Structure 1
Amino acid sequence: MQQNDFKSSSKGIQMLVDIRRYTIVPGMLKAYLEVYERHGLPVQRRHVGDPLGYFISEVGELNQVVHLWGYEDAADRQQRRAQMERVLICTES
């Protein structure tokens, strides 16, 4: 996981960008994307919001998935991710 602060002085926009990169088992990318779209993304959207970006690699290091999530700041990220984690833990019990 990587976190970058994005700041635009011309518009006064500040944002914490959480960059998440995952390596998928070769040959399983299509299955991963189908399962994530059906089960993972709806939960994340409900608690974390829409991703800023979601990318897969076609050249270079293959079998990579990159998510970009935007937050107001580190406290906002911690609060939203903790809320999602509580829901997932309750679901697993």
Structure 2
Amino acid sequence: MAIYELRTYSVIVGKMPEVISHYQNEGWPALAKHPKKLVGYFTGDVGALNELIHVWKFDDDADRRAFWAGVFSDPDFLAFAAKIRPLMREQNNKLMLSAPWGPQP
């Protein structure tokens, strides 16, 4: 059964343009080298200001753990993470399963 991971990062007020630049220039190129698991990136709007949101889809928990192990052993990603972490106030992760009705991503 597929597992979806919702990652929400609260960005320090005023730092979103810098975060977006780092993701465009370093973060996404580093992540794009790894298996295609991303459903989408989103930025907060009304009521969710200063949030960067990711949704990832994995085959199962083993797939999820293998993916993140690969990402966190990538020197390009680690260099990006070192730049981005000081711009974040908080990170929240949720693991979710699809409901047994309705559309599936």
Which TM-score band (shorter chain)? 0.7 to 0.9
- Structure-1 residue corresponding to 2:51: 64
User: After superposition, what is the alpha-carbon deviation per residue over 1:45-82, rounded to whole angstroms, capped at 9, x for unaligned?
Assistant: 21242520111111003101100011111100111111
Identity of aligned residues (%): 27
Give structure 1 stretches of 5+ with no counterpart: 1-13
Q: 1:39 maps to which residue?
A: 26
- RMSD (CA atoms): 1.9
Unaligned runs of 5+ in 2: 80-105
Larger Rg, first or second structure (1 or 2): 1
**TM-score normalised over the length of structure 2:** 0.65
Q: Counterparts of 2:37 and 2:67 in 1: how far apart (Å)?
A: 12
Q: TM-score, normalised by structure 1?
A: 0.73
CA deviation profile, 1:13-57 (whole Å, cap 9, x unmatched):
x42111100001111111101111111111112124252011111
Moved over 6 A (4+): none
**What amino acid maps onto 1:31 in structure 2?**
E
Give yes or no for the alignment of 1:73 onto 2:70. Answer: no
Q: 2:37, 2:58 within 8 Å by CA — same for their partners in 1?
A: no
